[in-house]
Structure 1
Amino acid sequence: MNTYGHAKANDFLSEVSLSVPRLALAWGWPAAVVVGLTLAVLVLIWSAYRTNYPRIANIPEAPGSLPFVGHLPFLGGRLGVNDADIFSRWSRQLASGIYQIKLGYQRTVIVSSWAVMEELFVSKNTCMLDRVHQHGFSDYIGLDISGSSLTPDVKKCRAAAVRALGKSMWPGYYKLIEPDSVQFITKIYQSGKNGQVPLETYPWLRQIMFNLALHMTYGIRVGDFDPELATKLLNSLNVITECRGSTAEYRHYVPLLRMWPWSKSKLVAAAQERNRCAKVLHEQYRRKVEQGKAPDCLVSSMRSERLTPDELFGTCMSILQAAPDTVSSSTYQCMAWLSSAPGQVFQEECLENILEVYDGDRDRAWDMAFQEEKVPLLVSLYKETLRFYATSAFNMRRTSREVTVGDTATLPKGVGVTMNIRGVNHDPDHYGPDALAFNPKRFLGDTSSHLPHLTFGTGSRICPAYMIANRIIYAMLVRLILAFRLKEVPGTRLPSIGRLDFSDVMGLIAVPRAYDCAFTARDDAWLKDKLAVE
């Protein structure tokens, strides 16, 4: 550990606490009290300004740092905006794509430009493999393939997840998600009474992805067990996601505050509830095995993957934790834009392109939606949605070894580095003068292999599910556009399509704000036939 770390601090505080009784024996209590108070003041002054790493030379620091808490008063949603937006403000104020802040006593480097991101997270990716230890989160959640440092155990778990999410496995997943998509569109058609009743669809989208994650991990789906259990599991996962990467709790970053008792009930209760639900899922899996119906899933591959029970549990929970968020949120937010005035016009262009690619055969376009990404305009649309409405607002890493930035700055090993995903995704120097506008045709004709955006991360820590996530978003959009005209309804909750103001969530994962949408069948008879409804 560096000389500014926990061990040094703890040794110092221990010496101070032992000094007063020793002085009392030598000088008497009055003198000891005076010396003790003096030492206490010195400790407070030391604690007020200390950081786990000294200021990094040749990298600017954001203004406004306060004693003890650093820049925390500006973060954690305290100003009513997401941390990523505050990071972007500081970047503009400093006119720098990289700068440093203090999260309590933790010095952290913020990356807010594509050029710096590419240097650190792409060209020097092997130096950026670790994760910051988040006090109050990592201590209670256990192994997490997204949030843990890339140890040999985590590498093994990530490899298992990548294989479970590989293209060779997709046909089996299509058999599950394809009927789920039909059920989703059927619910819209019937509950919305063919456009007469505006609907909120996010919970249905989230359940589709949750079902897929359950199938991948335990080979089951929501209908196989008590629906109340599914609700409890989803609620516990929501709480854990809310706490991940959060700057809302001062005590996570200010060691002095940890001297006072703290109610860990929210996070700990969520972790315990998640664990109880996981035991039920595993029991359900075990029953299927006893009945000779062993499903093809991650739990079944435990021996071939050589995972310990703890590693298997951590891998399964990581997939369940992440699966419902990005795909459902991105699809939902894309639907929000499509239902807006400019989106309604674009819907018709999308439909024309779909029919052009499939020679006017709607049935074939519907049937092939999950099999291929053949409509360039739809590919560009989902990429722009993921870029513009970054549901993963930022990404927290830690240098795994010393790394230089540019020609003058050096980041020490172990220092925290936060990638401002939202800021980098909106960088005009990379995306051009219209970077702050939603342009659904931005990626048309782009056949390069470079990163279109950073919503799934990058390098060795990229989301293992990013390819299948892209395919699912694409397929859902194809089927929705073939089936319906999406339209916002005045007098109801209108979609929020602003670049920054589309979510009320201030944490790491930005869940879109709820809205109501009218879905009118393009061809009532054709849609009824596809859905097999009266």
Structure 2
Amino acid sequence: MIDFVKSLLLYSFAAVVALLVHSEIARLRGRVAGIDGPRGLPIFGNIPQLRRNASEQYRIWAEKYGAVYQVMLGSVAVVVVNSAEAAQRVFVRNSAATISRPMFYTFHKVVSSTSGFTIGTSPYSASLRKRRKAAASALNKRAVTSYDAHISRETQQFIRDAYELGEKGKKALDPLALVQHLSLNLSLTLNWGSRIASVHDPLFQEIAEVEEYVSRFRSTTGNMQDYVPLLRWWPFNTASARAREMRTRRDVYIRRFNRELQQRLKNGEKVDCIQANVMAEESLDSQELMSLSLTMVAGGLDTITTLVSWALLLLAHKPDIQNKAYLAIKEHRMSTNDATECAYMVALVRELLRMYPPLRLALPRETASDFCFNDKLIPAGTVVVLNAWACNMDPEVYPDAHVFKPERFLDSNGRVQPGSIFTYGQGSRMCPGYILGNRELYMLFSRLLYLFEIKLAAGGSDADPLTGVADPTSLVSAPKEYKVIFSPRDRKQIERMLSEK
């Protein structure tokens, strides 16, 4: 019996060693030939070096290996693009080759197995073309202009929350719940014609919690089981169980919103929203409609919540920027009408997006066909990642990139001038909601900075985009907790605005 146990243990040990050796050989063979990059550990590759602030580590490595190099995430070779010039060559000139997305175990096969994928996370297919066409129609410049009334109502609600919950400037607030409420209601109103009245509503709290977790599962470095398949069978691995839980909880509210909208339409109610307009065209099936729904919720919460959270903190540290914005808005209101946008505020929004990209590592691509970069072949099926953080900090484009300066987007006459930012991605899979996102941010900050001074509460917090991150392992780089005071510039003016319908 003892000999049998010894033999069993020996064979088991030999099988594990053989499996590890086979995995390591496959990992080394998976590298893209001819492209340099940092060497990692056996089995895990570079993952341990990228668990915290991966985008900044990628930028640092670019100083040694060049703007385009490769890393190994477990057994997966990933080509990383870290400069504005390289991003143009890889994602714009080769837009057809870089049009697809890779499939990751945690997000695609566990979290999204019942509801499908968002538009942004879907591999390229005929179905994706239909969904992107529907999204483009709903999110083009003309369509976005028609949403101004919805955006105005939700920004007015944000002003109300800041004014009333902040006791008219007497109480410091953690603005996260207010910002999440704004972001979620913008998504719900535009997509389903619905909204959640209060930050205290259990449904609001449920959606905010679930979407935060789902965002983590989309991390390109945070889910080790995506790159080391053996970990999916590790008995102490809780990632899959938590992913399944969030999938189930998310399905409940997404299906509820779709069901309620369908019932309203069946009752003959006219509902002006994206989902109703798409349903009327009958071009998408139920799974594709679900994908569009998921896209609106996830995109809004990721982009608007994260950007506004950083912006409020940054502005509280910079009263001079707030004062410039206030004077610019005041002059704009006196000299023109709402048909044009205040140039300084457009530049302010662009600079916020440049310095605080919510997704510092854009969602990864998977090449649909071969292409060459610097005479090196990038074969079909290769994962390619745009480091939006590094591109937005590219010294060739922004010599003083770590300085917050909206004026960099204005010419000598104070007019907005062209200038690339990489926050929404590049090329064929650039975020289709960028026009909507820019409009929402413009309207919010134009109203907010005209009515309030934002002051940092005692203790403060770090507004540095590197050292002030709450969770450096997360896909979405949110700031640490902080409190601000929304100090009214003119209470009567605020109350007059809040009384308007």
* TM-score, length basis structure 2: 0.89
Partner residue, 2:143: 169
Partners of 1:164 and 1:297 within 8 A in 2: no
Partner residue, 1:516: 483
Change in Cα spacing, 1:436 to 1:462, as seen in structure 2 (3 Å) is same
Partner residue, 1:531: 498
One-letter amino acid matched to 1:50: A
Deviations, residues 410-459 of structure 1 (Å, cap 9, x unaligned): 11111111111111111112222x01222221111275555x21111122
Identity across matched positions, percent: 25
Change in Cα spacing, 1:447 to 1:123, as seen in structure 2 (3 Å) is farther
Q: How many residues align?
A: 485
How far apart are 1:296 and its partner, in Å? Answer: 2.6
Cα distance in 2 for residues equivalent to 1:40 and 1:74:
25
Partners of 1:207 and 1:324 within 8 A in 2: no
Deviations, residues 174-224 of structure 1 (Å, cap 9, x unaligned): 222212222221222222233221222222122122112112322221249
One-letter amino acid matched to 2:482: Y
Match of 1:500 among 460, 463, 466: 466
Q: Does the alignment pair 1:328 with 2:299?
A: no
Match of 1:156 among 116, 127, 130: 130
SS of alignment partner, residue 70 of structure 2: strand
Deviations, residues 344-403 of structure 1 (Å, cap 9, x unaligned): 012222222222233368xx6xxx3xx542x21111111111111111110211111111
Q: Does the alignment pair 1:467 with 2:442?
A: no
The aligned runs of 1:131-150 (5 Å cut-off) are 131-140=101-110, 141=112, 142-150=116-124
Partner residue, 2:98: 128
Partners of 1:134 and 1:245 within 8 A in 2: no
SS of alignment partner, residue 147 of structure 2: helix
The aligned runs of 1:6-405 (5 Å cut-off) are 41-51=17-27, 54-63=30-39, 65-76=40-51, 81-92=52-63, 94-140=64-110, 141=112, 142-223=116-197, 227-261=201-235, 262-263=237-238, 264-300=240-276, 301-340=278-317, 343-359=318-334, 368=338, 372-373=340-341, 375-395=342-362, 396-405=364-373
* TM-score, length basis structure 1: 0.84
Deviations, residues 209-266 of structure 1 (Å, cap 9, x unaligned): 2112112322221249993233223322221111103423322211233344554221
Cα distance in 2 for residues equivalent to 1:37 and 1:327:
51
Partner residue, 1:26: none
Cα distance in 1 for residues equivalent to 2:232 and 2:334:
66
Change in Cα spacing, 1:509 to 1:36, as seen in structure 2 (3 Å) is closer
Which has the greater radius of gyration?
A: 1
How far apart are 1:46 and its partner, in Å? Answer: 2.2
Deviations, residues 110-151 of structure 1 (Å, cap 9, x unaligned): 111122111101121211111111112111302321111121
Deviations, residues 467-517 of structure 1 (Å, cap 9, x unaligned): 11111111111111110122223x23x142213123213222112323211
Change in Cα spacing, 1:37 to 1:286, as seen in structure 2 (3 Å) is closer
Partners of 1:428 and 1:436 within 8 A in 2: no
Partner residue, 2:398: 431
Cα distance in 1 for residues equivalent to 2:169 and 2:197:
28
Change in Cα spacing, 1:443 to 1:220, as seen in structure 2 (3 Å) is same
Change in Cα spacing, 1:226 to 1:297, as seen in structure 2 (3 Å) is farther
Partners of 2:386 and 2:425 within 8 A in 1: no
SS of alignment partner, residue 157 of structure 2: helix
Change in Cα spacing, 1:233 to 1:159, as seen in structure 2 (3 Å) is same
Cα distance in 2 for residues equivalent to 1:518 and 1:226:
20
One-letter amino acid matched to 2:446: V
Cα distance in 1 for residues equivalent to 2:70 and 2:48:
16
Cα distance in 1 for residues equivalent to 2:309 and 2:303:
10
One-letter amino acid matched to 2:480: R
Q: Which moved more, 1:379-388 or 1:517-526?
A: 517-526
Cα distance in 2 for residues equivalent to 1:392 and 1:137:
16
Change in Cα spacing, 1:515 to 1:184, as seen in structure 2 (3 Å) is same
How far apart are 1:45 and its partner, in Å? Answer: 1.6
Partner residue, 1:458: 426
Partner residue, 2:3: none
Cα distance in 1 for residues equivalent to 2:209 and 2:8:
53
One-letter amino acid matched to 1:287: Q
SS of alignment partner, residue 485 of structure 1: strand
One-letter amino acid matched to 2:428: S
SS of alignment partner, residue 432 of structure 2: coil
SS of alignment partner, residue 515 of structure 1: coil
The aligned runs of 1:407-422 (5 Å cut-off) are 407=375, 409-422=376-389
Cα distance in 2 for residues equivalent to 1:170 and 1:40:
56
SS of alignment partner, residue 336 of structure 1: helix
Partners of 2:184 and 2:301 within 8 A in 1: yes
How far apart are 1:303 and its partner, in Å? Answer: 4.5
Deviations, residues 249-284 of structure 1 (Å, cap 9, x unaligned): 322211233344554221111111111112221232
SS of alignment partner, residue 307 of structure 1: coil
Deviations, residues 83-132 of structure 1 (Å, cap 9, x unaligned): 1122122222x241111111111111111112211110112121111111
Partners of 2:316 and 2:456 within 8 A in 1: yes
